[in-house]
Structure 1
Amino acid sequence: MQLEFYKYQGTGNDFVMIDNRSEFFPKENTQLIARLCDRRFGIGGDGLILLENDTIASNLATATNFKMVYYNSDGNQSSMCGNGGRCLVAFAKKLHVIENEATFIATDGLHHATIGDDGLVALQMIDVDAVKISPDHVFMNTGSPHHVQLVDDLENYNVKENGAAIRYGDLYGKAGSNINFVKQIDDTTFSLRTYERGVEDETLSCGTGATAVAIAMNVLGKTDASSIDLNVEGGKLVVSFDKGEGKFTNVFLKGPAEFVFKGTIEI
Structure 2
Amino acid sequence: MQVPFVKMHGLGNDFVVLDARAAAVPPMDARLAAALANRHTGIGCDQLILIEPSEIADLRMRIFNADGSEVEACGNATRAVGLLHGVAARIETLAGVVESAPADGGIKVDMGTPRFDWNAIPLAWAMDTLTMPVGWEDLDAPTAVNVGNPHAIFFVPDCDAVDLARLGPLIERDPLFPERVNVNVATIESRDAIRLRVWERGAGLTLACGTGACATAIGAMRRGLTDRKVRVTLPGGPLVIEWTAEGRVMMTGPATEAFRGAFDPAAYGVPA
Instruction: Return the TM-score normalized by structure 2.
Output: 0.86
> Which residue of the partner structure matches residue 3 of structure 2?
3
Alignment partner of 1:122 is 2:108: yes
1:180–1:193 contact (8 Å) kept in structure 2: yes
Rounded Cα–Cα distance in structure 1 between residues aligned with 2:27 and 2:219: 35
After superposition, the C-alpha distances for 1:186-221 in whole angstroms (9 at most, x for unaligned) are: 11100110001111x111111111000000001111
The farther-off stretch of 131-140 and 81-90 is 131-140
> Which residue of the partner structure matches residue 88 of structure 2?
101
Equivalent pairs, count: 246
Q: Which amino acid aligns with 1:210?
A: A
Secondary structure class of the residue paired with 1:179: strand
Rounded Cα–Cα distance in structure 1 between residues aligned with 2:3 and 2:28: 16
Displacement, 1:23?
7.2
> Which residue of the partner structure matches residue 121 of structure 2?
none
> Which residue of the partner structure matches residue 179 of structure 1?
183
Rounded Cα–Cα distance in structure 2 between residues aligned with 1:188 and 1:139: 20
After superposition, the C-alpha distances for 1:80-110 in whole angstroms (9 at most, x for unaligned) are: 11111111111222xxxxxx31112111111
Rounded Cα–Cα distance in structure 1 between residues aligned with 2:72 and 2:47: 11
Q: Which amino acid aligns with 1:81?
A: C
> Which residue of the partner structure matches residue 169 of structure 2?
164
Extract unaligned runs of 5+ from structure 2.
118-128, 134-140, 266-272
Rounded Cα–Cα distance in structure 2 between residues aligned with 1:77 and 1:172: 17
> Which residue of the partner structure matches residue 61 of structure 1?
none
After superposition, the C-alpha distances for 1:102-158 in whole angstroms (9 at most, x for unaligned) are: 112111111111102x46100001212426112511001000100000123322321
Secondary structure class of the residue paired with 1:249: coil
Rounded Cα–Cα distance in structure 2 between residues aligned with 1:102 and 1:83: 15
Q: Which amino acid aligns with 1:123?
A: V
Q: 1:54 to 1:23 in 2, by over 3 A?
A: farther
The root-mean-square deviation of aligned C-alpha atoms, in Å, is 1.6
Q: Which amino acid aligns with 1:46?
A: D
Rounded Cα–Cα distance in structure 2 between residues aligned with 1:194 and 1:27: 30
> Which residue of the partner structure matches residue 254 of structure 1?
252
1:23–1:52 contact (8 Å) kept in structure 2: no
1:9–1:15 contact (8 Å) kept in structure 2: yes
1:108–1:126 contact (8 Å) kept in structure 2: no
What is the percentage of aligned positions where both structures have the same residue?
31
Rounded Cα–Cα distance in structure 1 between residues aligned with 2:254 and 2:181: 25
> Which residue of the partner structure matches residue 137 of structure 1?
142
Secondary structure class of the residue paired with 1:43: coil
Q: Which amino acid aligns with 1:227?
A: K
Extract unaligned runs of 5+ from structure 1.
58-63, 94-99
Q: Which amino acid aligns with 1:126?
A: G
4+ residue stretches of structure 1 with deviation over 3 A? Answer: none
